[in-house]
Amino acid sequence: SVDIENTHASSTIVYVKIYDHKSPTYGTTDPDIMFTVAAVTRQVWTIAQGVSMSNGGSLMTSKADGPDATAAPDEEVNVSFVMT
């Protein structure tokens, strides 16, 4: 599962981008998975079949949509993974 906390009182919508790559070029490499989290929200996703990250795993958060968006959120975003 993926647990994303975007709960700061002055937060804005954020995009969490996950890459099956150990060193993607942010802004150029397309994410393999992208989650959108509303402002002042905590969301948890359960991925029943799981996701394979055979090339390594990386993530970034951005306050803009799209693979070329790299602007960091204005507030802290916590991302937790449950991996087996």
Please list the pLDDT of the chain residue by residue as tens digits (84 residues). 899 999 998 889 999 999 999 999 988 889 999 999 999 999 999 988 888 889 989 999 999 888 788 899 989 999 998 876
CA–CA dist 9, 69 (Å, integer):
23
Residue 47 and residue 38: Cα distance in Å, rounded?
20
